[in-house]
Amino acid sequence: MPTLLITGANRGIGLEFVRSYAESGWCVHACCRHPDKAKELKEIPGDVNVHRVDVTDELQVANVARSLRDQPIDLLINNAGIYGPRTGFGEQDYQAWSEVLQVNVIGLMRTVERFVEHVSQSELKRIVNISSQLGSIARNRSGAAYPYRTSKAAVNMITKGLSEDLEEKGIVVISVHPGWVQTDMGGVKAEITAEESVAGLRAIIDNLTPEQSGHFYSYDGTEMPW
Ligand SMILES: NC(=O)c1ccc[n+]([C@@H]2O[C@H](COP(=O)([O-])OP(=O)(O)OC[C@H]3O[C@@H](n4cnc5c(N)ncnc54)[C@H](OP(=O)(O)O)[C@@H]3O)[C@@H](O)[C@H]2O)c1
C-alpha cells in the first residue's frame, strides 16, 4: 500500500486526511506538534505512525526525515497552517504576521526540502500544498487578511516553482483550496465538513496526472485562478 506523510495531523482537515487514507489501507505518517495530546489521532485504526513535528523547528523536521530515510513517501500533504491576526488595514501586528509566514511558507518549504528524496523514491511521487482561495490574487475583491493572504499566495508561488524544479524527478506538485471548512480555523458557520472537503480533495489527489503539476484546484475539482 502507498504511504502518506502529512503535517498538522491532530485536528481539522489534517485529522480527516489521516482517517480517510488509513481507512483505505495506506501507511500514514501523521505529524503533529504534541503527540502526547493527540488523543483523537492516536485512536484512528490502521497503520498510523505519529511523529512530533513543529514545521518551524528545523531539528524536529530533520529528525523525522532521518528516522524515515529509505522509506518511500508516495504523497506528502503540507497541511499545517495558521490564520494569524484577523486585523484590517492600518492595524498590522508585524511580529504575528512574520509567525504566519514562518509556519505557512517557510515551514512548508522546509518540509518539502527534507522529504523530497522520500517522495522521489516512491511510486506515486505527489506533493499537495494546502493553500486557500484567500491566496488567489485574482479572487481578492475584499482586501484585509494580509498575513494569511500573503502566506497562501506565497504557497502558490512555491507550488509553481516546485513543479518546475521537481519535474525531472517525476514529482507532481499542486496547490489546493479545501473549501470553507468547519474546523477551528474555519469556524462553525463554514460551508462544508472536513469529511466533504477531504472526499473532494481525494478525488483530485488520487487521480493526478503529470500535466496537472503546477496547478491550483478547489476541492470541488474546478481550477482556481492564481
Ligand atoms: N478551514 C478552512 O476553512 C480552510 C480554508 C482554506 C484553507 N485552509 C487551510 O487548511 C489547512 C488546515 O486547516 P484547518 O482548517 O484544519 O485548521 P485547524 O483546525 O486550525 O488546524 C491547523 C493544524 O495545523 C497545525 N499547526 C499549526 N501550527 C503548526 C506548526 N508550527 N507546526 C506544525 N503544525 C502546526 C495545528 O496543530 P496544533 O493543534 O498543535 O495547533 C493543527 O493541527 C491550513 O493550511 C489552512 O490554512 C483551511
Dump pLDDT digits (tens) for 160-204: 999 999 999 999 999 999 999 999 999 999 999 999 999 999 999
Distance (Å) from CA 122 to ligand 1 centroid? 26
Dump pLDDT digits (tens) for 113-140: 999 999 999 999 999 999 999 999 999 9
Residue 22 near residue 48 (C-beta atoms within 8 A): yes
Dump pLDDT digits (tens) for 42-91: 999 999 999 999 999 999 999 999 999 999 999 999 999 999 999 899 99
- Pocket flag, ligand 1, residue 111 (CB < 6 Å): no
- Amino acid in position 209: T
Reported as half-sphere exposure (CB side, CA atoms, 13 A), residue 169 has a value of 21
Residue 40 near residue 32 (C-beta atoms within 8 A): no
In a domain, 225, yes or no: no
In a domain, 194, yes or no: yes
Q: Which domain holds residue 65?
A: 3-218
In a domain, 226, yes or no: no
| CATH for 93 | 3.40.50.720
pLDDT, the chain, mean: 98
Distance (Å) from CA 168 to ligand 1 centroid? 31
Identify the pLDDT of residue 36: 98
Per the structure, the count of domains in the chain is 1
